[in-house]
């Protein structure tokens, strides 16, 4: 069963999404809080994961990140990772207010950029009793240098500085495409599989998705180091679902971060690339998450 929800963040922004409940289950149930990754909206397959959790007897709070989709927030299309981290914590607080939520059995799930956020949230927020991080960004600065050719980085830094000066004068934030068919063109996610997944998924499932973000979003991405908090998650159980051919949130950086996590932890390796976790490898990615949450959130 799915109901529309909305709630306010601590700074007054209204976030909107869905509350999934398992059919035929009464009383308080484990609840998973979840949002999407870089620029994506909830219609881009988050419903499939929430449905899998509901079928296993767990509720979900699924919401659009601020400035995107159905949620409020300005400037539109801007991604501030630290505001999104705080919004996860506000979503947990909202979940606690619902009569169906067992506040002692709250888990968090994230994928790609939100896969990074849940690492940070779980490191700080002990209300979280279990975490699943799927194809996560581990290091913004190092991943940034994997996605952008070394001889282009100086020019990108100049773009950041110019945008900052123009905003100081009162100009609106500069914008950049999320994806481009030409991987050598300026875009936030310059990989061929990013172009295919976002364009195909938006046409099929999320026509309101917009192919743009603020340039400042890329600058904040390059400064974000979620993997540096991973050793602080313990004793909260951590599952990392990593794609062996991930060229976007690159595989080796995620594996390196996992090595710094303390127990209890588990790793699942998917066969495909970054976006296969939502489609071709969905059965494995969702089943692994369901089993981890069942193990650590459901009562025997």
Q: 244: which 2 tokens?
A: 């062996």
Average pLDDT over residues 227-254: 98
For residue 204, with 0-12 CB atoms within 10 Å meaning exposed, 13-18 middle and 19 or more buried, which class applies? exposed
8-state DSSP, 179: -
First to last CA, the chain: 24
Q: Is residue 96 a part of any domain in this protein?
A: yes
Check whether 53 has a pLDDT greater than 90.
Answer: yes
Q: Is residue 167 a part of any domain in this protein?
A: no
Residues in the chain: 300
Check whether 48 has a pLDDT greater than 90.
Answer: yes
Q: What is the pLDDT of residues 151-166, one digit of tens each?
A: 999 999 999 999 999 9
Check whether 68 has a pLDDT greater than 70.
Answer: yes
> What percentage of the chain reaches a pLDDT higher than 70?
100
Structural domain of residue 34, as residue ranges?
Answer: 2-140+225-297
8-state DSSP, 115: H
Q: Using an 8 Å Cβ cutoff, are 156 and 148 in contact? A: yes
Closest of 118, 114, 22, 12 to residue 73, by C-alpha = 12
> What percentage of the chain reaches a pLDDT higher than 90?
97
Q: What is the pLDDT of residues 117-152, one digit of tens each?
A: 999 999 999 999 999 999 999 999 999 999 999 999
For residue 249, with 0-12 CB atoms within 10 Å meaning exposed, 13-18 middle and 19 or more buried, which class applies? buried
Q: Is residue 80 a part of any domain in this protein?
A: yes
For 167: left if phi > 0, alpha if psi spans -120 to 50, otherwise beta; the answer is alpha
Q: 53: which 2 tokens?
A: 């959790």
pLDDT at 26 (0 to 100): 84
Predicted TM-score (pTM) above 0.85: yes
Rounded to whole angstroms, the Cα distance separating 79 from 110 reads 15
Q: Using an 8 Å Cβ cutoff, are 133 and 294 in contact? A: no
Check whether 95 has a pLDDT greater than 70.
Answer: yes
Q: Is residue 39 a part of any domain in this protein?
A: yes
pLDDT at 300 (0 to 100): 62
Count how many domains the chain has: 1
> What CATH code is carried by the domain that includes residue 27?
3.40.50.1820
Q: Is residue 150 a part of any domain in this protein?
A: no
Question: CB count, 10 Å around CB of 234?
Answer: 15
Check whether 63 has a pLDDT greater than 90.
Answer: yes
Q: What is the pLDDT of residues 11-28, one digit of tens each?
A: 999 999 999 999 988 899
Rounded to whole angstroms, the Cα distance separating 41 from 190 reads 19
Q: What is the pLDDT of residues 170-228, one digit of tens each?
A: 999 999 999 999 988 999 999 999 999 999 999 999 999 999 999 999 999 999 999 99
Q: Is residue 264 a part of any domain in this protein?
A: yes
Over the chain, what is the mean pLDDT? 97
Q: Is residue 27 a part of any domain in this protein?
A: yes
Rounded to whole angstroms, the Cα distance separating 35 from 71 reads 12
Those residues with Cβ within 8 angstroms of residue 182's Cβ, 6 or more apart along the chain or in another chain: none
pLDDT at 214 (0 to 100): 98
Q: What is the pLDDT of residues 251-284, one digit of tens each?
A: 999 999 999 999 999 999 999 999 999 999 999 9
Q: Is residue 102 a part of any domain in this protein?
A: yes
> 87: which strand partners?
none
pLDDT band (50, 70, 90) for residue 299: confident
Q: 128: which 2 tokens?
A: 């979280």
């Amino acid at each position: 069963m799915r109901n529309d929800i909305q709630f306010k963040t601590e700074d007054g922004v209204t976030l909107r999404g869905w509350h999934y409940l398992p059919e035929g289950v009464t009383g308080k149930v484990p609840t998973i809080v979840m949002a999407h990754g870089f620029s994506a909206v909830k219609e881009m397959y988050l419903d499939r994961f929430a449905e899998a959790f509901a079928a296993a007897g767990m509720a979900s709070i699924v919401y659009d990140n601020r400035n995107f989709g159905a949620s409020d927030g300005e400037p539109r299309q801007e991604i501030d990772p630290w505001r999104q981290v705080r919004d996860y914590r506000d979503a947990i607080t909202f979940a606690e207010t619902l009569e169906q939520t067992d506040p002692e059995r709250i888990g968090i799930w994230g994928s790609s950029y939100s896969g990074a956020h849940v690492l940070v949230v779980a490191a700080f927020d002990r209300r979280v009793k279990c975490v699943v991080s799927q194809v996560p960004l581990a290091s913004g600065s190092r991943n940034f240098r994997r996605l952008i050719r070394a001889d282009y980085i100086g020019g990108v830094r100049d773009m950041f500085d110019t945008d900052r000066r123009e905003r100081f004068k009162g100009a609106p934030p500069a914008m950049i495409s999320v994806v481009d068919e030409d991987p050598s063109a300026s875009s936030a996610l310059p990989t061929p599989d990013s172009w295919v997944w976002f364009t195909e998924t938006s046409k099929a499932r999320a026509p309101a998705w917009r192919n743009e973000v603020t340039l400042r979003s890329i600058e904040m991405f390059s400064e974000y180091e979620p993997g540096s908090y991973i050793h602080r998650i313990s004793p909260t159980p951590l599952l990392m679902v990593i794609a062996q051919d991930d060229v976007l949130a690159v595989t080796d950086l995620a594996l390196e971060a996992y090595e710094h996590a303390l127990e209890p932890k588990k790793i699942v390796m998917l066969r495909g690339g970054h976006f296969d976790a939502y489609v071709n490898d969905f059965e494995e990615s969702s089943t692994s998450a369901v089993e981890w949450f069942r193990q650590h959130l459901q009562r025997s």
